[in-house]
């Protein structure tokens, strides 16, 4: 469960020159410059591509080349913009996590929701270190002198990250110790120490320890006969010093806190009790160390935790079998070098020095934590059934187009009447997108189903439907992205399950991740074949569809169907597609299409016509897109950006960006949709790509233009609500500070709560 976490943080990596040349070589066969547009060999059922200008109010062609475009360098950037025009993306991410922490500190939030945000903050920071900090360390160690867009070296960024992280960790701990924990105790939810327990509770928990915990513990000694043990990433450990009563010598030992036992041990024997008291597992183990080290005297015991590099480097051109190559790298991941050492604030200097020495950790990578380590354990508290301490329950509404009728209508009949835009979690995923795939699997007239799968749930009904379709004799193709970070193992499992069922499984393109969210259903209807499509901004995951805010379009539009047919031919075969009718496809095509449309708005402004750019994304990092927005601002184009996480753009700078406003909305749901509105051109687009290097250069992404006025009015309503001056948000200032808004004490509206009410998902 991710809440307001980042989806992943692997963009903008700098890799050794050999690695870069490998990617370029892999992508070369798809370069547009090596071929001419195809002639009249197109199937008659595919509508012809047009070459109208983007200023026209009709669907415009977008050339898209699945190959890595030229890197952004100083020579390709404008020279009349200041050099210091970007914020550092790593520090901007830490600012994002600071906003998550602010939600935990907000007394207007329900108490267990505040505890949840503390848990999300902790999980977010873990992933940031495993990926982003690990990448910076690798650059520094390999001698790559690659500076960030704001001009900092890897070492300078690491120093700034270390300082800022320590500040946030202390703020995080204090929020729990000084506010959340006392608040929970007022509602009879407590986290206690061993010393707080009664004799009766100690006796009962001692029995629990002997029966459930002691058998799985393995104390590891460190001496000339026992080398320092390997410490796995993100594991919680106890560093113990014991003394031999006979010889008086002191020895170090490590005890791993097992992760297959609940971290917070329930104290009450009666689970129906109105009280819920918990003892941290490490406290229980520390109180019984005498049983682990019988005959020895325990001198000291301190908790610590190591974060390791969890990034993967798969040489895709070297290995014939990408699946096997990835499995080898997954096995190596657990042995990545340490990038962070978290220690309890009561750890002694000599114990810390021993850990630094034995694990070869840089002192700058030590984070001292007041109180409990790894507050992601607070998810366990969030599971307590206390409705009054949580947000009100909601039930995603069935979209009116798919609502119950006296005579049930199929999804296909509905889409023949017109396109449908779904907005999750307000609109139900299961009664729209999931039903679309399930009906396709069961429909005898459906000939083929083609689907991209980036992340899905452990018990995915989408995967089950694809298996049912294949077993029914349908042509089923699933592009499973096995390189989806931290879901690699799960996706490998699904890929093999699908293959066994007869599904044609493809793992994507060499050097690129397939991140687009697309489904294509081919159906025989009398003497014609009709294609039905879904293109969305979120994953095909019914569980995260209740937590992530996303939009998607379900359509039978022939041009979109033809485009998706071409795209799947690129993904599964050797087709070299270089243009699409109604889509923008990355790499190369999305950035190019977005910049072209921003330039179109500049032309409108210069001609005195209405103009404007509105963008809603997770992150805005790409320098070419940012520079295009700066130039739009200079031309008088109003620009509004709603960004959840990272923003490298500096708004409100005189002469550069005074017409740009940036705000961030965080809340109950993770704002995940990517929506673009170009006012002068009168174009709305939705898609899977954020404005980041990884999305625009190293992924297959899809954006689709939404043209139906009924659907564009829905997207307009999203922007209107998000940009309402009274909507609770954070506003980015030109100095990089995020300011809570509105700050004038006026009435505040909650963007997500308003949408829940509007869609009828709340009573």
Rg (CA), the chain: 27
The CA-based angle 721-9-137, given to 5 degrees, is 145
- Distance from C-alpha of 602 to C-alpha of 635, rounded to nearest angstrom: 6
> How many residues in the chain?
763
DSSP-derived secondary structure letter, 176: I
- Distance from C-alpha of 763 to C-alpha of 758, rounded to nearest angstrom: 11
Query: How many C-beta atoms surround the C-beta of residue 310 within 10 A?
Result: 20
Question: Which H or E element spans position 423?
Answer: strand 420-424
Category of 224 on φ-ψ map: left (φ > 0), alpha (ψ -120 to 50) or beta = alpha
DSSP string, 122-166: HHHHHHHIIIIIHHHHHHHHTT--PPPTTS--HHHHHHHHHHHHH
Instruction: List CB contacts of 636: < 8 A, sequence separation 6 or more.
Output: 605, 611, 659
- Distance from C-alpha of 642 to C-alpha of 733, rounded to nearest angstrom: 14
Question: Which H or E element spans position 466?
Answer: helix 461-471
Select from 111, 115, 93 the least CA-distant residue to 10. Answer: 93
- Distance from C-alpha of 549 to C-alpha of 423, rounded to nearest angstrom: 7
**Which residue intervals of 409-458 are DSSP H helices?**
411-417, 433-442
- Helix then strand then coil, in percent of the chain rounded to 5, is 35, 20, 40
Per-residue b or e along 81-96, where b marks 16 or more CB atoms closer than 10 Å to that residue's CB: beeebbbbbbbbbbbb
Separation in Å, CA 254 to CA 94, 210, 230, 375, 683: 32, 19, 10, 21, 61
Category of 151 on φ-ψ map: left (φ > 0), alpha (ψ -120 to 50) or beta = left
The CA-based angle 216-220-224, given to 5 degrees, is 160
Separation in Å, CA 283 to CA 59, 372, 536, 746: 63, 10, 46, 46
SS (H, E, C) 380-411: HHHCCCCHHHCCCCCCCECCHHHCCCCCCCCH
Catalytically annotated residue among 515, 604, 672, 677: 515
515 is catalytic: yes
CB 19 within 8 A of CB 313: yes
Separation in Å, CA 155 to CA 16, 359, 363: 17, 21, 14
Select from 506, 509, 452, 686 the least CA-distant residue to 67. Answer: 509
Query: How many C-beta atoms surround the C-beta of residue 510 within 10 A?
Result: 14
Peptide bond just before 550 cis, omega within 30 deg: no
CB 251 within 8 A of CB 219: no
> Any idea which residues carry the catalytic annotation?
515
């Amino acid at each position: 469960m991710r809440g307001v976490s980042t989806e992943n943080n692997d963009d903008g990596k700098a890799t050794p020159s050999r690695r870069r040349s490998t990617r370029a070589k892999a992508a070369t066969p798809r370069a547009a410059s090596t071929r001419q547009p195809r002639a009249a060999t197109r199937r008659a059922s595919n509508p012809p591509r047009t070459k109208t200008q983007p200023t026209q109010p009709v669907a415009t062609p977008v050339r898209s080349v699945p190959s890595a475009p030229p890197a952004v360098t100083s020579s390709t950037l404008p020279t009349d913009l200041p050099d210091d025009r970007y914020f550092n993306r790593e520090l901007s991410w830490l600012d994002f996590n600071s906003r998550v922490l602010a939600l935990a500190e907000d007394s207007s939030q329900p108490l267990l929701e505040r505890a949840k945000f503390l848990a999300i903050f902790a999980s977010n920071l873990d992933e940031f270190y495993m990926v982003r900090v690990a990448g910076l360390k690798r650059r520094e160690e390999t001698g790559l002198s690659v500076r960030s867009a704001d001009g900092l070296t890897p070492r300078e960024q690491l120093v700034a990250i270390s300082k800022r992280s320590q500040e946030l960790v202390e703020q995080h701990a204090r929020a729990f110790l000084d506010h959340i924990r006392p608040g929970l105790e007022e509602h009879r939810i407590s986290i206690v120490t061993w010393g707080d327990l009664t004799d009766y509770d100690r006796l009962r928990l001692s029995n629990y320890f002997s029966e459930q915990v002691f058998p799985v513990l393995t104390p590891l000694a460190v001496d000339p006969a026992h080398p320092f043990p390997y410490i796995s990433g993100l594991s919680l450990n106890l560093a113990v010093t014991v003394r031999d009563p006979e010889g008086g010598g002191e020895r170090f030992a490590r005890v791993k806190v097992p992760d297959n036992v609940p971290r917070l041990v329930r104290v009450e024997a009666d689970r129906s009790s109105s009280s819920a008291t918990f003892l941290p597992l490490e406290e229980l183990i520390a109180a019984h160390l005498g049983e682990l080290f019988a005959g020895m005297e325990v001198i000291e015991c301190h908790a610590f935790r190591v974060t390791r590099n969890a990034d993967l480097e798969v040489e895709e051109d070297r290995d014939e079998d990408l699946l096997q190559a990835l499995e080898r790298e997954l096995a190596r991941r657990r042995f990545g070098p340490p990038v962070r050492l978290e220690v309890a604030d009561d750890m002694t200097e000599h114990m810390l020095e021993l850990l630094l020495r034995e694990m070869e950790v840089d002192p700058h990578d030590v984070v001292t934590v007041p109180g409990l380590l790894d507050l992601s354990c607070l998810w366990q508290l969030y599971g307590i059934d206390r409705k009054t301490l949580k947000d009100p329950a909601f039930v995603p509404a069935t979209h009116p187009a798919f609502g119950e009728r006296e005579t049930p209508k199929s999804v296909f009949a509905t889409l023949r009447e017109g396109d449908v835009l779904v907005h999750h979690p307000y609109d139900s995923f299961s009664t729209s997108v999931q039903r679309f795939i399930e009906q396709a699997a069961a429909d005898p007239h459906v000939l083929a189903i083609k689907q991209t799968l980036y992340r899905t749930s452990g018990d995915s009904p989408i995967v089950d439907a694809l298996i049912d379709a294949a077993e029914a004799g349908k042509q089923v193709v699933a592009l499973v992205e096995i390189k989806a970070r931290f879901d690699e193992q799960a996706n490998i499992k699904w890929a093999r399950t699908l293959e066994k069922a007869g599904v044609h499984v493809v793992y994507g393109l060499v050097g690129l991740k397939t991140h687009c969210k697309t489904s294509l259903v081919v159906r025989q209807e009398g003497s014609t074949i009709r294609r039905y499509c879904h293109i969305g901004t979120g994953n095909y995951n019914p569980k995260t569809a209740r937590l992530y805010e996303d939009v998607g379009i379900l359509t039978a539009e022939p041009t979109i169907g033809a485009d998706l047919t071409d795209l799947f031919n690129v993904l599964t075969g050797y087709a070299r597609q270089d243009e699409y009718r109604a889509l923008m496809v990355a790499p190369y095509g999305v950035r190019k299409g977005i910049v072209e449309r921003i330039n179109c708005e500049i032309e409108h402004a210069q001609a005195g016509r209405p103009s404007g750019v509105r963008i809603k994304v997770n992150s805005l990092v790409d320098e070419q897109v940012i520079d295009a927005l700066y130039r739009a601002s200079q031309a008088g184009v109003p620009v509004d950006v709603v960004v959840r996480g990272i923003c490298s753009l500096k708004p409100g700078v005189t002469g550069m960006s005074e017409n740009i406003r940036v705000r961030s909305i965080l809340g109950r749901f993770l704002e995940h949709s990517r929506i673009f509105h170009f006012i002068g051109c009168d174009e709305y687009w939705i898609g899977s790509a954020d404005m980041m290097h990884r999305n625009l250069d190293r992924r297959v992404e899809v954006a689709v233009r939404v043209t139906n006025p009924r659907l564009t009015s829905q997207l307009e309503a999203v922007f209107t609500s998000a940009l309402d001056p009274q909507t609770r948000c954070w506003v980015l200032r030109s100095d990089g500070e995020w300011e809570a808004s509105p700050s004038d004490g006026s009435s505040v509206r909650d963007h997500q709560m308003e949408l829940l009410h509007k869609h009828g998902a709340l009573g």
